[in-house]
Every structure is written in C-alpha cells, then in structure tokens.
A and B are shown apart, each in its own frame.
Chain A
Amino acid sequence: MARSTVRTEITGKVWKVTATAGQSLAEDDPIVILESMKMEIPVPAPVACKVIEVLVAEGDAVTEGDVIAHIEG
C-alpha cells in the first residue's frame, strides 16, 4: 500500500473535519469540508484508503495546494 498526500484544490477555511486517523475511506469520501466562495466544498479521498493523519483543524485557513492529510491506499 502506497502512502500519499491529499491536497486542497481551492483556498478557503476548514469548516468541518469529517475523517480521523485510522479510519478507512472509500474513494470520494470527504476527509475535510472547506468553506470557500460561500460553498461547503469537500476534499475527497482520491482513492479507497486508510487515513494516517489529518493535518488541519476546524477554522484553519488553507491555500490551494496545501497538504491536508496523509493516506495509505
């Protein structure tokens, strides 16, 4: 199982963290939900995976391309 990183594709604020370390996710399951452009925008798991670490907390500001989680899968 390859380790990889998940990055944001939009600048905004972390509204909710929906996944925790150790959790198994299906492809497209949200890891965090950002608030940007007055929208709730999920950052989804790119593949079916296990979450190793979520690097952001609710209220954090993120910029396009920031790493928000490490996953394995």
Chain B
Amino acid sequence: MAFDRQREEFEARRQRALAMGSSRRLAERKAAGILNARERVDSLLDAGSFIEAGLLATSARPDMRDKSPADGVVSGFGRIDGRHVGVNAADFTTLGSSSAEIHGKKQHYVRETSRRNGMPLVNLMECAGGRIPDIMGAAGIGRAGEGSRYTHPRTHPWAAAVLGLTYGGGAFTCINSDFVVMRKGAVLAVSSSNVTSVAIAEDMDPEALGGWRLHSEVTGFVDSVVDSDGEAIAQVRAFLSYMPDNASLPPPASATFEEAPGARALDTLVPESRAKVYDIRNVIRAIADRDTVFPLKERFAKVAVTALGRIRGRTVGFIASNPMFKGGALDPDACDKITSFIVLCDSFNIPLVFLADTPGFLVGAESEKRRLPGKIMNFMAALEMSTVPKIALVLRKSYGQAYLNMGGGKADVTATWFSGDISFMDPAVAVNVVHGVKPGEQPEQYGRLLEEVSAGTTAYELAAPFMAQMVIDPNQTRDFLAGMLEVLSRRMTNGIGEHRLSAWPPAF
C-alpha cells in the first residue's frame, strides 16, 4: 500500500504523544479519581468534535524532545452543545505542565485563533510553574514575556477550571478568565510552597497557600467550588450556556422555559417588617425561570448576590443585597464582587437586574480601613460606564449612596415594590441624627418625629416626582421584569453594548 512506511511512522509518533507523560503518574491519577488532560477534553467537548493543534509539538530543547509529548498541554478546537470553543488543557503528567516556550506558543495559538474567530476559550489548568531550566537566566525570563499572553480583551468569554496544583502562568491564566471553577484539593498560587519556604522562610501547607477555602471565601478569585473534575467541567459548560460566543453577539436565548414555583407569591418570601432578615436567593430563584439561577462567588461577600439566570428564556445578570448576611449592608468585598459582575455582564451584552433591600453601605472603622469609599466609586464607575440594559428594583428599603449604587435613578428604569422605603438614611436613624431625639429618652417626641420622617420615604414619594417610573406589587415582579427586558432589548444595536469596560482590570 502507498505510504505504508510513512503512515506507520506517523501512527507511532501520534500514539507516543497521545500516551502523555509517565505511566506511573497516569495510574496514580486514575486511582485517585482525577481525570487526565485528554479525558478532561473528551468530557468537555461534544463527542468526536476535537481538532487538536500541536499534538506533535515538543520542548524547544533538543535533549527533552522525547520527554515532552505535546509539550505538556492538550490544545485545539471543538464544540460544546454544537458551539465552537478553543481549549487548552494542562497535562500535568508531562513535566508538570510547566510553562516553557513551545508550551506557551501552543496556548497562545489557540487563544488568538479563538479571539479572531469569536469563540469562547476554555482553560483546564494545572501548572507546576515556570519550567526549569528553560526559564532560568536572563534569556530564559526575557523570552517568557514575549507576546500578549497576559491580556484578555473580553471580546470572547474565557472560562477556567483549577484542577490541580496551579502555579505561575497557569494561575495567571485563571485570574484573567471571566469564570473560574476550582476542584477541592486543587491549589492556585503565584508560587509553590517549595519556593515560598526558601524565598521568605515560610513553611506552608499548599491548601492554606491557595486552596479552595481561601479563594472562594477570602480572595474571591474563584466563582464556584466543586468536588470532582467532572463537576468542574459541567460548571464550565453551564457558564458558557449563558454567554454569547463573542462580544458582538447577544447571549443565547432559551426557547423553552418554565415559571418557578412561588413566582407569584414573593410576598410570602419577604417579611413585612424591614428589620427582619430573609434570604434574597429564594426571591431570585422564584423570579427567574425554573432551575436557571447560576450564582457566581457564592461563598465570597455573601451580603451581595451575583448570579446569572434567565427570565422568559433571556439571559440576565442578577445583582442583589442579601439581608440574611450583615443585614444586607454592602461592605468593601461586596463592592468588588458586584463591580466584577457588572464588567462581566456589560462585556457580553447581558442585561442587569438590581434587587435592593439594603440599610446602606456598611459604615465603620473596619470598612474604611478596607477602602470602602474607593470600592464604592469603582462600583459606581462600572455602573455608569456600562451600556447594557439595567433595571433597578427596590424591595423594602434602600438608603443613602447604596440606593444610587444599586441602580436607583441610574438604571434605564427605577421601580419599587409598594413596600419600598427610600431615603438618605433609615427614618429611625434620621430622627436620632437630625433631631437628636432617642427612643429611650423621649419616646413620645420620637414617635411623632418618626412618623413625620417616614411619611417622606415611601414608594409613593419616589413615584410622585417620577424618580421611580413604576410602583409594583411584589407578586408582579416577574411579569414586570420580563416586560421591561423586552422594552430595553436595544433593537437599534441588536442588543450589543459599547463595551467601555472591556479594559477593566482582571482582578480586584
């Protein structure tokens, strides 16, 4: 047969590369229930859709060519639910998927091809850090800075999964991504505990250095935490189902949807007394199409809820204060969380729905120390520069600067439940601050003044000067939002915004 000898060599080379790194390491992973890079790609993509780039690429160092199948990263293109994506999947069994010249060149190629062709990029990451000795010396580190590997222009969505020890370049790729899911047991840090123990004489458990608790609860770098590789990949697919292929398209709409239970009984989820707490997530789940709410950074800054979801099939981003935590008083971390979510939604043409039930920003020495005024202004800058449709809705109360930050008077439409109470501060605080009257000392005068002040803070006082365009019954919320989302669908631009936030920094 023609080409027999050449085909044989081709197959042998292919099989060697497909086998990845050491068989011992592959067996160890299998025993631990951790997928290898190729299994991950298979479970991410529609069956048979993968087109690999650089299968036969190897290390740039001649002496390492036989030890570097695909140079430690499985790269290429495929489809998720029929839609094209680019993928870079780290192969940790090959030199720890460490950063090196060809390894980086391959990732850059997929990243750039995905950008130019307007399709999402998926980063399935593990990384031992910079490859030694490749990166050593002036020429080594000098070469590492070439190209645009550190810039994500938000023209196409990036989703990342942290699936093992992920240091250096691998960690930076995740930080630059629009969505990051982390498997428990994985680590994300600038450098490994081996390096930190020498560099700053700090011995540290890798989990404490960059484990899931740190990143989901303290840094907020991780959007979602799961127990297995399979769940992480399912989260990547779910995130992308809300995203357009690129910033010049509206997000995909779902043709079928179902109203959630409780959609017309929101008044049973929210206590009438403004002092009582409740979980706003139940309200969001009731407003959105059934089973479509996809929370981001749920364990970080819990006083703010940021979640993707759908209303009558349309993708929306929900931003809400949650009275269940800190009474709904927005703190510096909550500002960071909301700001990054506004940037995400604005970049990908996803309308925003603000649900405010907040006593205001969390004032006090601790908040000031943690830069609250700066965080409030970053939040406000993102809000004012965003060009996606925005709907601001007050549920029970919204006071002070937080009223404005939660879209009050800033959104395309400001509305309030009939229970809304809106002012510079809570009427009970105002009586004390403005009139110097305390309930314990002059109860009668306090009661009279409270009534006086409260008369000026009702929903109707916001509606009369047309500062709220609508006052609604809580149980009409879903219909109101669905109707206004249709009105604000930006037909002149086909729903595409100006993307003035596309150069916003990747992290906070």
Contact = CB atoms under 8 A, between A and B. Distances in A.
Contacts of A39: 274-275, 277, 323, 327-329, 359
B317 interface: no
B385 interface: no
B362 interface: yes
A51 to B, nearest CB: 21
Contacts of B328: 37, 39
B364 A38 contact: no
B426 interface: yes
Contact of B326 (A9, A38, A40, A63): A9
B366 A38 contact: no
Contact of A10 (B274, B275, B329, B360): B329
Given A11-B364, A11-B366, A38 B276 contact: no
A40 B274 CA distance: 9
A31 interface: no
A38 B277 contact: no
B249 interface: no
Interface in A11-45: 11, 36-42
Given A9-B326, A10-B326, A10-B327, A38 B359 contact: yes
Contacts, number: 44
Given A9-B326, A10-B329, A38 B362 contact: no
Most buried by A among B274, B275, B328: B275
Contacts of A64: 364, 366
Contacts of B426: 37-38
Interface residues of B, number: 18
A40 B359 CA distance: 11
Give the dominant DSSP class at A's interface: loop
Contacts of A11: 364, 366
Interface string A31-73: 0000011111110000000000000000000011000000000
A40 B362 contact: no
A40 B276 CA distance: 6
Contacts of A9: 325-326
Contacts of A37: 326-329, 359-360, 362, 426
Contacts of B329: 10, 36-37, 39
A38 B326 CA distance: 11
A28 to B, nearest CB: 9
Interface string B361-405: 010101000000000000000000000000000000000000000
B47 interface: no
Contacts of B325: 9
B366 A36 contact: no
Most buried by A among B276, B327, B364, B429: B327
8 contacts: A10-B362, A37-B362, A37-B426, A38-B274, A38-B426, A39-B328, A39-B359, A63-B366
Contacts of A42: 277
A41 B331 CA distance: 15
Nearest to A11: B364
A22 to B, nearest CB: 26
A42 B366 CA distance: 20
A14 B82 CA distance: 56
Contacts of B275: 38-40
Given A36-B327, A39-B359, 13 more contacts: A10-B326, A10-B327, A10-B362, A36-B326, A36-B329, A37-B326, A37-B327, A37-B359, A38-B274, A38-B275, A39-B275, A39-B327, A40-B276
Contacts of A10: 326-327, 329, 362
A39 B359 CA distance: 8
A11 B329 CA distance: 11
